[in-house]
Amino acid sequence: MVAVHAGKHVAIPRLDLTDVVFWGFLSAILGARVLFMMLSWKTAVFTLTEICTLGAKDGGFSFHGGLLAGGIVGFWVARHQQLPIWRLADVLALGLAVAMFFMRIGCLFNGCDYGVATTMPWGIFLHGATRHPIQLYEGLGNLCLFPLLVVLNQKPTQAGQTFLLYMLCSGMIRLGVDFYREDAGRIWNLFTIPQLLAAAIAVCASFTMYARSRKSYPKDVCES
């Protein structure tokens, strides 16, 4: 709904944008599930039953798997419908920022992706201890980005800047938040795998922003 509303300002048809979101969302569920299985299970065998076990003991999703799969499929649908890719990404960034807030609220209610034990007064009791509510940290961080993205998206900026800024900022938020995450499987006893993925996204977004700012684009190219 947020993306559709933002799309009106850049003349992206509502039905076309809805198609991108719909197919991107369905593929994101599958991608998030498969990456979670790859990171969490010591097996290379993926059956349909295991993939579809969403709410059971081994159910779970990985945000970055959903982002990758949803992005690839969304890009393909957008190209098929001949939509302006970078402007489309800008309006989707607004929707992603809001969606991340609600997704992390869901994580909090489900008791997953929880933080380490803390004595801070805002700690939440989960899994036998008072813990950092890192779900809220990341969710509120993304929600705070929303007004900035709205203002930036309404300015005559180069197409794609809003999206790239969101990827950079959200990646940095995840990088910082996961230092408080209860996760025994850390690389070099410091970083979680999602942290490294988030850092890679932030670096790629930063490099792309810099590379595109060094070039001079005609207006019609910026709009596409």
Distance CA 153, CA 166 (A): 11
pLDDT for the residue numbered 221: 44
pLDDT for the residue numbered 173: 94
Given a cut of 70, the residues of the chain with pLDDT beneath it are 40-59, 184, 216-224
pLDDT for the residue numbered 204: 93
pLDDT for the residue numbered 223: 47
Give the pLDDT confidence of 190-199 residue by residue, as tens digits: 888 888 989 9
pLDDT for the residue numbered 128: 86
pLDDT for the residue numbered 211: 86
What ranges do the domains of the chain cover? 1-83, 90-224
Q: Do 91 and 17 touch, CB atoms closer than 8 A?
A: yes
pLDDT for the residue numbered 199: 92
